[in-house]
Structure 1
Amino acid sequence: MSPVIDLNADLGEGFGRWRLTEDEQLLTVVTSANIACGFHAGDAATMRRVCEQAVEHGVRIGAQVSYRDLAGFGRRAMDVPADELAAEVAYQIGALEVFARAAGAGVSYVKPHGALYNRVVHDEEQAGAVVDGVLLAGALPVLGLPGSRFLEIAGKAGLPVVAEAFADRAYTDEGTLVPRTREGSVIADPTAVAERSLRLAARGEVTSLDGRLIAVRARSLCLHGDTPGAVELAREIRLRLERTGVEVAAFA
Structure 2
Amino acid sequence: MTTVPHLALNNGVAIPQLGFGVFQVPAEDTAKVVRTALETGYRSIDTAAAYRNEAGVGEALRAAGLPRDELFITTKLWNSDQGYDSTLRAFDTSMGKLGLDYLDLYLIHWPLPARDTYVDTWRAFEKLQADGRVRAIGVSNFQIPHLRRLFDETDVVPAVNQIELHPHLQQPELRTFHAEHGIATEAWSPLAQGALLAEETITALASKYGKSPAQIVLRWHLQIGNVVIPKSVTTSRIAENFELFDFELDADDVLAIGEMDKGTRTGPDPDTFNVG
Q: With the length of structure 2 as denominator, give the TM-score of the two structures.
A: 0.52
Q: Distance in 2 between matches of 1:149 and 1:33?
A: 29
Q: Distance in 2 between matches of 1:48 and 1:97?
A: 9
Structure 2: 5+ residue runs without aligned partners? 7-15, 175-185, 198-210, 250-276
Structure 2 match to 1:10: 21
Q: Deviation above 6 Å: which 4+ runs of structure 1?
A: none
- Does the aligned pair in 2 maintain the 1:30–1:234 contact within 8 Å? no
Secondary structure at the residue paired with 1:30?
coil
Secondary structure at the residue paired with 2:52?
coil
Structure 1 match to 2:89: 91
CA RMSD of aligned residues (A): 4.4
Structure 1: 5+ residue runs without aligned partners? 69-79, 205-216, 246-252
| Shift of residue 137, structure 1, vs aligned partner | 2.6
Q: Distance in 2 between matches of 1:24 and 1:59?
A: 13
Q: Distance in 2 between matches of 1:63 and 1:24?
A: 17
1:64 matches 2:76: yes
- Does the aligned pair in 2 maintain the 1:145–1:163 contact within 8 Å? yes
**Alpha-carbon spacing, 1:21–1:151, altered in 2? closer, same or farther (3 Å):** farther
Counterpart of 1:7, as a letter, is L
1:187 matches 2:194: yes
- Does the aligned pair in 2 maintain the 1:63–1:92 contact within 8 Å? no
2:42 corresponds to which of 30, 38, 57: 30
**Alpha-carbon spacing, 1:129–1:192, altered in 2? closer, same or farther (3 Å):** farther
Q: Where is the strand percentage greater, Structure 1 or Structure 2? A: 1
Q: With the length of structure 1 as denominator, give the TM-score of the two structures.
A: 0.56
Structure 2 match to 1:158: 156
Secondary structure at the residue paired with 2:116?
helix
Question: Percent identity between the aligned chains?
Answer: 8
Structure 1 match to 2:125: 134
Q: Distance in 2 between matches of 1:36 and 1:48?
A: 12
Q: Which structure exhibits the higher relative contact order, with contacts defined as CA atoms closer than 8 Å and separated by 6 or more residues?
A: 1
Q: Where is the helix percentage greater, Structure 1 or Structure 2? A: 2
| Shift of residue 234, structure 1, vs aligned partner | 3.9
1:46 matches 2:56: yes
Aligned length: 198
- Does the aligned pair in 2 maintain the 1:62–1:111 contact within 8 Å? yes
